[in-house]
């Protein structure tokens, strides 16, 4: 199958899946599950690609396996957080503003501001596990080996960071305090840094294939999203208002790439 045909089939499956999820969310009046679908949807894209072009090549299995390890872990974690914490405040704020300022109802606001933005973003970010499986019968080279290491490091990094944050929040003595322990001592966003490492790693694995280099918008878009749009900016804006010591934490701690804390 041609790359365009593979991508077209994947895009159609993604649109259908998001449309069904949107209908479900209209019934529940809560769009928070889209966060878990963000990760699980990328696993689905990797699987549907393999079903179309897979022929047992090691590179295909690496892309599929690493994506699945990342996505199933993150998707499961997001589902647990939703059930434990309830609806995400970000989506509640977005929908409230859309209704107040534009007069949009729940269906229109969620359709345009959540699902119509998340679906194409998901599709673009996971280009490495789609394009990298096409023409994958190329021996693994140094880029692929570096990508494997980087992806594994990313999965471990964000898994440890999430676990440390959950343990910190469960301690009632930490109420109102800033999480600056473990990996969070070296970067304000170990989970986002881990995400970026995974997808840059998957891109490196894909880059040795005929079409893999065309997947570079994926990790670039993900990194920009995490650092400049819906990731760090939304989290930090809230923490600056709710955590008195957060400004000092920002001054001494790297915003993304782990670094030794500065002395202030």
Whether the pLDDT of residue 155 is over 90: the answer is yes
Total domain count, the chain: 1
pTM beyond 0.85: the answer is: yes
Whether the pLDDT of residue 59 is over 90: the answer is yes
Whether the pLDDT of residue 1 is over 80: the answer is no
Half-sphere exposure of 18 (CA within 13 A, CB side): 26
Residue at 260 is within a domain:
no
Asked if residues 96 and 106 have their Cβ atoms less than 8 Å apart, the reply is no
Question: Confidence class of residue 92 from pLDDT cuts 50, 70 and 90?
Answer: confident
Which of 27-36, 87-96, 176-185 shows the lowest per-residue confidence on average (mean pLDDT)?
87-96
Residue at 114 is within a domain:
yes
Residue at 264 is within a domain:
no
Give which of 77, 84, 82 is closest to 92, Cα–Cα: 82
Half-sphere exposure of 138 (CA within 13 A, CB side): 18
pLDDT in tens, 193-208: 999 999 999 999 999 9
Residue at 262 is within a domain:
no
Residue at 259 is within a domain:
no
Residue at 24 is within a domain:
yes
Neighbours of 27 (CB within 10 A): 7
Residue at 258 is within a domain:
no
Taking residues 218-231, what's their average pLDDT? 92
Give residue 106's domain range. Answer: 3-252
Whether the pLDDT of residue 264 is over 80: the answer is no
Q: At what angle do helices 116-125 and 34-53 cross, to 10 degrees?
A: 50
User: How many helices (H) and strands (E) are present in the chain, helices listed first?
Assistant: 12, 0
């Amino acid at each position: 199958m041609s790359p365009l045909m593979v991508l077209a089939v994947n895009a159609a499956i993604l649109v259908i899946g998001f449309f069904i999820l949107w209908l479900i969310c209209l019934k529940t009046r809560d769009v928070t599950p889209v966060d878990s679908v963000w990760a699980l949807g990328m696993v689905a894209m990797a699987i549907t690609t393999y079903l179309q072009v897979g022929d047992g090549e090691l590179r295909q299995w690496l892309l599929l396996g690493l994506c699945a390890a990342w996505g199933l872990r993150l998707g499961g974690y997001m589902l647990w957080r939703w059930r434990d914490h309830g609806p995400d405040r970000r989506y509640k704020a977005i929908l409230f503003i859309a209704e107040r300022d534009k007069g949009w109802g729940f269906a229109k606001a969620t359709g345009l501001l959540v699902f119509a933005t998340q679906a194409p973003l998901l599709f673009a970010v996971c280009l490495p596990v789609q394009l990298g499986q096409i023409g994958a019968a190329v021996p693994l080279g140094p880029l692929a080996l570096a990508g494997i290491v980087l992806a594994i490091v990313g999965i471990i990094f964000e898994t440890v960071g999430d676990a440390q944050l959950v343990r910190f929040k469960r301690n009632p003595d930490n109420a109102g305090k800033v999480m600056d322990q473990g990996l969070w001592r070296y970067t304000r966003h170990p989970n986002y840094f881990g995400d970026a490492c995974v997808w840059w790693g998957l891109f490196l694995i894909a880059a040795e294939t005929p079409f893999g280099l065309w997947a570079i918008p994926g990790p670039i878009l993900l990194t920009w999203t995490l650092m400049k749009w819906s990731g760090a900016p939304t989290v930090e804006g809230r923490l600056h208002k709710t955590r008195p010591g957060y400004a000092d934490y920002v001054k001494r701690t790297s915003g993304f790439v782990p670094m030794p804390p500065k002395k202030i």
